Structure 1
């Protein structure tokens, strides 16, 4: 049982996350990848996702086993963008890394990269950040609008509970395994845990990939959250006939050009040289592909001093996500993107 203890101040600080949390959806989708291939909701998605993965995802799967503990540093906070979450993950201090990684099963510690990760080795931290971006883009990018729709539908229901019956009705309605027994919110849980909010409040995070029961962080000193299942109607992430899908997108754009578009979207700002390095193509090839996609309004390029940065346009993002073209309002003149925030390791 997870017992969440509220004070009057905490009740005034309960809120719903503003949308799907990229870090939590990434972590919980990794759990789903290790689940049953016949899962009623995740089965078809799992089959497609496994086909889209590259070998680097093995890093994430060691960090996020399908059952049991996953390190808290992988889910750094509510209402963060993907880039902010990756930035926070890459900036975790060595002490916390060692403590949290030590809680994983011993068999997960054997890989040399895991030992380097526990030491906060900068190149390994950058590698982890890159893998998180690529995984999110290639596995969750296309169905993200469906994930968002499910989460926003759940938010609307809980907002109505809050308006009609206040925060206590909200707390009592989020899941069948949750009971509001003032001043304690009791969650059926595989272990006994007490979370004293102490005036910090609680963020409720509805999640598409959360399945079975709500979950929280292992470390009770972190900002309190409760992640709970949002997909009450068991909506699958199946693609409709208007959705491109990985194979169709590669046929449309060509395999290399599709990979270039995916990498630009996953990076949230990348140079041509870095793009060539990541994809193993020549600088001239990267330049040719970006010029073609810029001309088709799939990307936006901006020169900053002597460097050109590429970001995905709204039309390019819609193409990756499989949204209908009429859902995109394409500007007549592309608006330059701001200089992207560059991620670097910093001490905790």
Structure 2
């Protein structure tokens, strides 16, 4: 079990952010480990042929090395809550070349390195430039088409946890993050990890919800840019699946009415009025009417993203739907 000790000062400095580079790395895991990330099956089916033709050998070799280590420089802890890919790529490009070479070598320690990896030992600048070019290409092919939904789910997670922390105190940021994580008031404990005690050493802890994290929690414990946990945000399993994957339970439908129950169930992942209307085959005015009633009842909240409002369930809405959703015909998929 990994144990992350906290002081009272550490707790007040926990923050939330969403990292495009974390999505790049975790989606690469989902692409190459189908048994472990089954919930991304339809996304993987669509993306694999594109990636196979795109010439991404350097990126995939660096991210998915046999030593089960991802170079820390690939996922700098964000300086802001919502960085763009280009902002993070600029941080990557500024990584000291000796660090780049050392971390890429660590990802292949004890294994024969292919030419794409061997290049980093003799030409780290050229290797890094090629890596960054391929990261941009991969993002454009695999993630950009679904980025608005990925970002929206992360935004909803960040907003809801921030609101809960404002109401209940900073400890609420660490509670119910993930089934494998247990907060005991003094430390955050991660089950199914190598036994180790870990301290933040003065770094703030960044919580990074990632739509492609799947069922796993990932840790960054020694990166020069900070300390972080990557974890799946609530609603990630319905991120890009068919709109009606989860039908409301009969008790919820009896309490709210079938249509409002369906709207509340759908909002496990955030959505606009138009997205709710399209998913449930409602007129936009009807969807707006039901969303207004649910909002007035305190079951959903609205967050402004640019010019649009996205609706998400409040903690009360989460409690009401917990255990009431009927299972879908299969696992949630992208």
TM-score interval w.r.t. the shorter chain?
A: 0.5 to 0.7
CA apart distance, 1:190: 2.6
Q: Aligned pairs, how many?
A: 240
Among residues 109, 122, 126, which one is paired with 2:125 in the alignment?
122
The residue correspondences of 1:80-99 to structure 2 (distance < 5 A) are 80-99=83-102
Partner of 2:30: 32
Partner of 2:64: 65
1:158-207: CA deviations, max 9, x gaps? Answer: 12321232111221221121111222111224323333113322111111
Quick check: 1:94–1:120 contact (8 Å CA) kept in 2? Answer: no
1:136 aligns with 2:139: yes
Structure 2 CA distance for partners of 1:148 and 1:91, relative to 1, 3 Å: same
Q: Supply the distance in 2 between the matched residues of 1:108 and 1:83 (Cα, whole angstroms).
A: 32
1:246-284: CA deviations, max 9, x gaps? Answer: xxxxxxxxxxxxxxxxxxxxxxxxxxxxxxxxxxxxxxx
1:216-254: CA deviations, max 9, x gaps? Answer: 1152554111111114451143589xxxxxxxxxxxxxx
The residue correspondences of 1:159-308 to structure 2 (distance < 5 A) are 159-219=162-222, 222-232=225-235, 234-238=237-241
Structure 2 CA distance for partners of 1:8 and 1:221, relative to 1, 3 Å: farther
Partner SS, residue 60 of structure 2: helix
State the TM-score, normalized to the length of structure 1.
0.62
CA apart distance, 1:44: 0.3
- Aligned alpha-carbon RMSD (Å): 2.6
CA apart distance, 1:146: 0.9
Runs ≥4 residues deviating over 4 A = 37-40, 106-109
Structure 2 CA distance for partners of 1:15 and 1:75, relative to 1, 3 Å: same
Q: Supply the distance in 2 between the matched residues of 1:93 and 1:217 (Cα, whole angstroms).
A: 19
Query: Which structure 1 segments of 5+ residues have no match?
Result: 241-325, 328-348
State the TM-score, normalized to the length of structure 2.
0.65
